[in-house]
Every structure is written in structure tokens, then in C-alpha cells.
């Protein structure tokens, strides 16, 4: 995973609320057995309009996406995060996310920044003409107009993003603890193993 620290550039002033994963990547794109190339299907319905934001000269390849409440709601498909990543997005800024989406985002090296609606409104304004700066180390989103918003992030997620860490390797360090749990479970609740 590519480590993520400072991201600066144009931010797509998308702003919609309750954007579900079917909008981010329609179901027919799920029929793949690999992860690459999914960006072509990102926001497909919206991008069917030739004048859409995502493909405009100004925002094509922009690394930041600004969205409304409950971004990434709907299905658990991780394809949504792959599609955003493949589109070139490294940071999403929204007032809230679905739990599954924000987890998937972090696992794929995308930072989900949570900011209050007032901050989102201001950033939407700036994004119309100017770049936005995101600094994960210092947990800030800034603009060249002296806006400075700080955000919270779970320290573990922050470390994973900063170092580009793969979670399975981390968990494998707990192998002994998992083995001990399994033995205890077999002793305490042997019926938990499927009978047949």
C-alpha cells in the first residue's frame, strides 16, 4: 500500500449526501476477479453526462473528493474504494461515512476525513477555484485563504495510512494469542464447531 501523508491538489466539489456504493461503482462492475481498472466504472451514471465534474478539465485526476453526509452507504463492496483509488482519489472529505466504507477506504490507502458541514460548505466554495491541502500527520485540512480545519482519526488507522501497512501482517504477530483462544474455545464451547 502506498503510504499517505500530505495530499494537495484540486478537490472535486461533489457535495452530495447519502451517496451509496451503487452510485460509486454500479453492480455490473463487480463482475471482475481482479482489482485494477475499476476507475473506469466510478460514478458511471453521473459520468454518462459529458459535462460531469469528474471528467472536466479542471477536476480530472483530482486527488480529493468532497462529499455530503453518509458517504459510501449501501453495500459492503470494497470495489467502491478500489474505484475511487483507481480514479486517483486519495482523500475523501465528508461529514460522515458508512462504517464499512470508511474501513474499506483506509485498507486501500484512502483517507476518509470527517469535518462538520460548515467546514464542508467552506471547502466546496474554495474547491470551485483553488486547491485544498490535507496533512494527515497534523490532521489538518487547509487552504491558501487561511482556512484551517482539524480532524480526528483513529490512531491505528492513521499509522496504517502513514506507513502504508498491510493489516494481515500486523495480525499475524498475534498468532499465539489466536491459537490460545482457539484452544480455550474448544474446551469451553466444543459445540461451536460445525457438527457435520
Nearest to 99 by CA among 123, 119, 71, 79: 71
Between residues 128 and 170, which has the closer beta carbon with respect to another protein?
170
Q: Whole-number minimum distance, CB 88 to another protein, in Å?
A: 20
Residues in the chain: 196
Q: Whole-number minimum distance, CB 180 to another protein, in Å?
A: 8
Look at phi and psi of residue 98 and say left if phi exceeds 0, alpha if psi is from -120 to 50, else beta: beta
Strands 132-135 and 111-114: unpaired
Between residues 34 and 129, which has the closer beta carbon with respect to another protein?
34
**Partners of 110 in the β-ladder:** none
Please tell me the distance from the alpha carbon of residue 82 to that of residue 110, in angstroms, as a whole number: 9
Between residues 16 and 128, which has the closer beta carbon with respect to another protein?
16
Q: Whole-number minimum distance, CB 96 to another protein, in Å?
A: 6
Alpha-carbon dihedral sign for residues 97, 163, 36, 30: negative
Between residues 45 and 128, which has the closer beta carbon with respect to another protein?
45
Q: Which residues bind another protein (CB under 8 A)?
A: 16-18, 20, 22-23, 26-28, 30-35, 45, 68-70, 73-79, 81, 96, 98-100, 103-104, 107-108, 154-156, 167-168, 170-172, 174, 177-178, 181-182, 185, 189-196
Phi, psi of 66 (to 5 degrees): -105, 130
Q: Whole-number minimum distance, CB 99 to another protein, in Å?
A: 5
Amino acid at each position: 500500500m502506498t503510504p499517505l501523508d500530505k495530499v494537495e491538489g484540486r478537490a472535486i466539489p461533489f457535495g452530495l449526501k447519502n451517496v451509496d456504493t451503487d452510485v460509486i461503482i454500479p453492480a455490473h462492475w463487480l463482475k471482475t476477479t481482479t482489482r485494477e481498472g475499476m476507475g473506469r466504472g466510478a460514478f458511471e451514471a453521473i459520468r454518462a453526462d459529458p459535462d460531469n465534474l469528474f471528467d472536466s478539465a479542471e477536476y480530472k485526476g483530482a486527488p480529493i473528493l468532497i462529499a455530503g453526509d453518509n458517504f459510501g452507504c449501501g453495500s459492503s463492496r470494497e470495489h467502491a474504494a478500489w474505484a475511487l483509488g483507481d480514479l486517483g482519489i486519495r482523500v475523501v472529505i465528508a461529514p460522515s461515512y458508512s462504517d464499512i466504507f470508511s474501513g474499506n477506504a483506509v485498507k486501500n490507502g484512502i483517507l476518509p476525513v470527517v469535518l462538520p458541514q460548515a467546514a464542508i460548505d467552506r471547502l466546496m466554495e474554495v474547491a470551485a477555484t483553488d486547491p485544498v491541502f490535507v496533512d494527515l500527520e497534523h490532521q489538518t485540512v487547509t487552504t491558501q485563504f487561511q482556512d484551517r480545519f482539524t480532524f480526528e482519526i483513529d490512531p491505528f488507522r492513521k499509522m496504517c495510512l502513514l506507513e502504508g501497512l498491510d493489516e494481515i501482517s500486523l495480525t499475524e504477530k498475534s498468532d499465539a494469542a489466536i491459537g490460545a483462544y482457539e484452544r480455550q474455545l474448544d474446551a469451553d464451547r466444543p459445540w461451536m464447531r460445525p457438527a457435520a
